[in-house]
Structure 1
């Protein structure tokens, strides 16, 4: 294992020293990006559903990011309010965690029935993606009822489906933004 790492290091140094400066700029886009995820804001806030929601959300995020080799997930157990995020807070957290991007999520449960604690397994997972400077890049929401017409299943499974859908939408938006920025150059 050490030999492989050593040869990889030697090969990398050789390639960097041989390639021209333009190619080095292109390869900087290929570096591993660190993405900081906060605990999702849970609506309505009930302490008993907070921990299972966090577990299902981060399980879905880690599963999705394991397929994307160029990203690394960082987790912060801080609760941020989804609708009132300021750029200064995002910059502080990204600087302290050496993160390239920051994701602030929200999970909203549907209330069904007359009772105070009667919930449906349907959720809306919303995410906002910020860069390290606190600028909003894109946001996404995924409604498991409208998109999948899910009537049965567990809430944890709905959170995973909603998280995957929201992440897929964010990745799609990032590709659009990348394509439009390269076309304008």
Structure 2
């Protein structure tokens, strides 16, 4: 029974897709712990104090050194004091990273780039001055962000990563402060 041209094309596409899926490994799960060194406006707001972060991710090996990694991160900066203002900041982010392993398999050195949504929460307290009482304000904002960096997997479960993370957080004025950081972390895979 002859196969029509449309059915032949559909069958070839299905076989190619199936072969690609068979080559790719199933999803891998992991955690990351990191320190964030603030830069720019964020550095000033948190009095140059580094933040601590943790997160979870899922990796999808697409084969030939290409990996997609959806991730969730939470970063908390301790209270900083600048000119009588006390500020605490936190960032919850949800995004995805593309990882490229030049060696062709998810092992050793890799480059990474990502996009995500950052949910910033900034709490500010102004100390009492003379007859003016202390006041506080909180603001939240959700902004797009990006990241780029490199990493190294030491073995099947442990890796290290260095990334530059760029975002901004809303301010009650027209000013749009930059919330950038250098992120240094360890990754753990299961």
TM-score normalised to structure 1 length: 0.28
TM-score normalised to structure 2 length: 0.28
Greater per-residue helix proportion? 1
Structure with greater Cα Rg: 2
Greater per-residue strand proportion? 2
